[in-house]
């Protein structure tokens, strides 16, 4: 059997070769006059500054954005005057939320600056609070600026700064360049981990060069990464070969930052599909562990790289065991969903059930499996289920159609206008459990695709209940055709 290798990005990452669009984004925050601009200018070396208005712009202040160079490290750096105003005025007004959402949606890291000469200032704590509230997933790096001539009291301020709750601060001087190596040492490992994941998550550099500028339609035409997973002997290899035989097969090394592997690539209806072939090495670990188990650890790696996961089940096994999915199959499907991947379920070996005596079975399995699959994986709705016979080459087209359909839904972008018109209808449709403390969703917006991720801005302090989230998720899926893709809803409160 021919081996089907794949591309894996590994450390070290050469940031100088990474497409600017893929680089992580670091936001510089801090109260006024701590030296945000000074650090920004040092990082971008001033002349490369790019000043523009955010696209989402009725009210917004300028956000400066440029490419930072710190040794061999590269990243996008944002210096936002608007955020500073928002924090220091202590108010979270309606007008600032769209910019906040916009900036935070594009940011993965933050540098929080304090002025070492002033010590820890009450407004520094406000900045920390602001960040926790709006972007709890970002743990900022705290830097003590203006430390070129501070001497003894450095240690004192450093221990004060722990009160921010973001760990040990790093001493720098934006004006003299002191401490840039220390900053590099803190940032580099974080950004490198992020970069490895991003590169593996996406395909290759040139595939995504202009991704940010693509419309919804275009984005879903980007190369698709498909992982085929399943227990041994369900027919993964047979299906893979069936899919490949129909199309032009290209197997060979792909250019990547680390070229220690290759992947399978084929074209389907003019679209490039990269197949992450779990079959080969999954089989190997299966042999070690006994035939019944599914190597979840190994599969997880391929899940991280995939956009869409196709889980293959065996119809014969389903009939025998009287259940659609084994425990390990459920685990792997849930894992895929947790990782934000789209899911398609394929029931193979349907040819085994075609005989007369089996026609009842045939009907039954077609009815029962979609229902059971949906029951055991309630995290996403509308999971496509395809019935095929890989051996006879039946159902290949259906498989690819569902995979591509799910991928398109996974890439969906819904306009804020459309969502908020939808919100009005949907709010009246749902019977909110606790009417007195009923949260009011003021504004609903999509901040990210792949998978679709939404932010619900709530008035008051209440949070949505689990059941409300489920209702919203299901309504989004029904009303906007988002079957088979995870849908994420983030809650933010506006006072």
157, 234, 373, 455: which one binds ligand GDP (CB under 6 A): 234
36, 64, 74, 263: which one binds ligand GDP (CB under 6 A): 36
Using the minimum distance from each CB to ligand GDP, give the nearer residue, 199 or 229: 229
Q: What whole-number distance in Å separates Cα of residue 285 and Cα of residue 327? A: 18
Residue 38 as a binder of ligand GDP (CB under 6 A): the answer is: yes
Judged by CB under 6 A, which stretch of 3-11, 143-151, 261-269, 358-366 contacts ligand GDP? 143-151
Range 4-23, binding ligand GDP (CB under 6 A)? none
Judged by CB under 6 A, which stretch of 16-24, 253-261, 295-303, 344-352 contacts ligand GDP? 344-352
Report helix, strand or coil for 221: coil
Residue 64 as a binder of ligand GDP (CB under 6 A): the answer is: no
68, 103, 224, 279: which one binds ligand GDP (CB under 6 A): 279
- The nearest distance, CB 235 to ligand GDP, in angstroms, is 3
Residue 145 as a binder of ligand GDP (CB under 6 A): the answer is: yes
Site of tokens 């606790």: 434
Residue 398 as a binder of ligand GDP (CB under 6 A): the answer is: no
Using the minimum distance from each CB to ligand GDP, give the nearer residue, 38 or 456: 38
49, 304, 352, 469: which one binds ligand GDP (CB under 6 A): 352
Burial class (CB in 10 A: 0-12, 13-18, 19+), 22: middle
Phi, psi torsion values for 147, nearest 5 degrees? -90, 15
Report helix, strand or coil for 423: helix
5, 30, 405, 439: which one binds ligand GDP (CB under 6 A): 30
96, 108, 324, 389: which one binds ligand GDP (CB under 6 A): 389
- The nearest distance, CB 232 to ligand GDP, in angstroms, is 4
Q: What whole-number distance in Å separates Cα of residue 13 and Cα of residue 68? A: 16
Residue 174 as a binder of ligand GDP (CB under 6 A): the answer is: yes
- The nearest distance, CB 229 to ligand GDP, in angstroms, is 9
Using the minimum distance from each CB to ligand GDP, give the nearer residue, 17 or 356: 356
348, 406, 445, 485: which one binds ligand GDP (CB under 6 A): 348
Using the minimum distance from each CB to ligand GDP, give the nearer residue, 127 or 199: 127
Residue 32 as a binder of ligand GDP (CB under 6 A): the answer is: yes
Nearest residue to 112 (alpha-carbon basis) of 39, 15, 22: 39
Strand locations in 35-182 (E): 50-52, 63-70, 73-80, 109-115, 141-145, 170-171
C-alpha distance from residue 94 to each of 97, 326, 424, 459, 464 (Å): 6, 49, 18, 10, 20
- The nearest distance, CB 233 to ligand GDP, in angstroms, is 4
Using the minimum distance from each CB to ligand GDP, give the nearer residue, 1 or 466: 1
Token pair in block for residue 427: 């709010």
Nearest residue to 35 (alpha-carbon basis) of 99, 109, 117, 90: 117
Give the orientation angle of helix 279-289 with respect to helix 236-246, to 10 degrees. Answer: 170
125, 154, 214, 391: which one binds ligand GDP (CB under 6 A): 391
- The nearest distance, CB 353 to ligand GDP, in angstroms, is 10
Residue nearest to ligand GDP (CB): 235
Q: What whole-number distance in Å separates Cα of residue 342 and Cα of residue 121? A: 46
Judged by CB under 6 A, which stretch of 104-112, 150-158, 236-244, 480-488 contacts ligand GDP? 236-244
Answer for the pair 346, 309: CB distance below 8 angstroms, yes or no. no
Q: How many residues does the chain have?
A: 495
Strand pairing report for 224-229 and 271-277: parallel
- The nearest distance, CB 14 to ligand GDP, in angstroms, is 30
Residue 285 as a binder of ligand GDP (CB under 6 A): the answer is: no
Residue 233 as a binder of ligand GDP (CB under 6 A): the answer is: yes
- The nearest distance, CB 393 to ligand GDP, in angstroms, is 9
Q: Is the dihedral of CA 401, 404, 409, 414 positive or negative?
A: negative
Most distant CA atoms of the chain, gap in Å: 89
Residue 123 as a binder of ligand GDP (CB under 6 A): the answer is: no
Q: What whole-number distance in Å separates Cα of residue 333 and Cα of residue 230? A: 10
Residue 173 as a binder of ligand GDP (CB under 6 A): the answer is: yes
- The nearest distance, CB 426 to ligand GDP, in angstroms, is 42
Judged by CB under 6 A, which stretch of 14-22, 191-199, 292-300, 386-394 contacts ligand GDP? 386-394
The pairs formed by 187-191 with CB atoms below 8 angstroms and a separation of 24 or more are 187/26, 187/70, 187/73, 187/75, 187/109, 187/141, 188/71, 188/73, 190/109, 190/141, 191/15, 191/24, 191/26, 191/73, 191/75, 191/109
134, 236, 307, 396: which one binds ligand GDP (CB under 6 A): 236
Using the minimum distance from each CB to ligand GDP, give the nearer residue, 36 or 408: 36
Nearest residue to 226 (alpha-carbon basis) of 389, 100, 102, 399: 399
Q: What whole-number distance in Å separates Cα of residue 288 and Cα of residue 300? A: 18
Provide the binding-site residues for ligand GDP, judged by CB under 6 A.
30, 32-38, 145-146, 148, 173-175, 230, 232-238, 279, 348-349, 351-352, 389-391
């Amino acid at each position: 059997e021919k081996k089907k290798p794949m591309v894996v990005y590994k450390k070290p990452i050469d940031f100088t070769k990474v497409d600017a669009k893929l680089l992580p984004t670091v936001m510089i925050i801090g109260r006024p006059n701590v030296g945000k601009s000074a650090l920004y200018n040092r990082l971008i070396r001033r002349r490369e500054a790019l000043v523009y208005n955010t696209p989402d712009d009725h009210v917004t202040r300028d956000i400066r954005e440029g490419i930072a160079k710190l040794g061999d490290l590269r990243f996008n750096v944002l210096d936002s005057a608007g955020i500073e105003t928002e924090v220091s005025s202590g108010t979270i007004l309606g007008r600032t939320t769209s910019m906040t959402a916009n900036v935070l949606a594009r940011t993965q890291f933050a540098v929080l600056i304090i002025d070492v000469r002033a010590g820890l200032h009450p407004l520094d704590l406000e900045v920390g609070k602001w960040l926790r509230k709006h972007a709890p997933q970002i743990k900022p790096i705290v830097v003590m600026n203006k430390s070129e001539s501070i001497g003894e009291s450095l240690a004192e301020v450093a221990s004060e700064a722990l009160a921010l709750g973001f760990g040990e601060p790093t001493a720098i001087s934006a004006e003299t360049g002191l401490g840039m190596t220390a900053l590099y040492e803190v940032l580099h490992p974080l950004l490198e981990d992020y970069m490895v994941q991003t590169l593996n998550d996406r395909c290759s550099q040139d595939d995504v060069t202009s991704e940010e500028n693509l419309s919804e339609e275009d984005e879903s035409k980007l190369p698709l990464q498909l992982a085929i997973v399943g227990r041994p002997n369900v027919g993964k290899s047979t299906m893979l070969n069936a899919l490949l035989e129909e199309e032009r097969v290209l197997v060979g090394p792909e250019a990547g930052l680390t070229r220690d592997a290759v992947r399978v690539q084929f074209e389907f209806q003019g679209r490039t599909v990269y197949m992450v072939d779990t079959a080969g090495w999954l089989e190997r670990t299966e042999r070690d562990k006994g035939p019944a188990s599914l190597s979840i650890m190994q599969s997880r790696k391929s899940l991280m790289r995939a956009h869409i996961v196709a889980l293959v089940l065996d119809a014969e096994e389903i009939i025998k065991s009287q259940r659609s999915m084994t425990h390990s199959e459920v685990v792997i499907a849930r894992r895929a969903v947790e990782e934000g991947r789209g899911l398609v379920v394929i029931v193979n070996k349907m040819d085994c059930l075609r005989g007369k005596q089996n026609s009842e079975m045939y009907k039954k399995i077609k009815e029962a499996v979609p229902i059971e699959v949906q029951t055991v994986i309630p995290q996403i709705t509308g999971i496509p289920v395809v019935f095929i016979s890989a051996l006879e080459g039946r159902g290949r087209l259906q498989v690819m159609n569902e995979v591509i359909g799910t991928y398109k839904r996974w890439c969906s972008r819904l306009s804020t206008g459309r969502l908020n018109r939808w919100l009005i209808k949907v709010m009246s449709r749902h019977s909110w459990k606790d009417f007195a403390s009923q949260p009011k969703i003021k504004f609903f917006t999509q901040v990210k695709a792949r998978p679709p991720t939404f932010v619900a801005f709530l008035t008051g302090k209440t949070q949505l209940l689990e059941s409300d989230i489920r209702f919203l998720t299901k309504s989004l899926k029904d009303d906007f055709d988002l079957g088979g893709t995870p849908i994420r809803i983030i809650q933010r409160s506006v006072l």
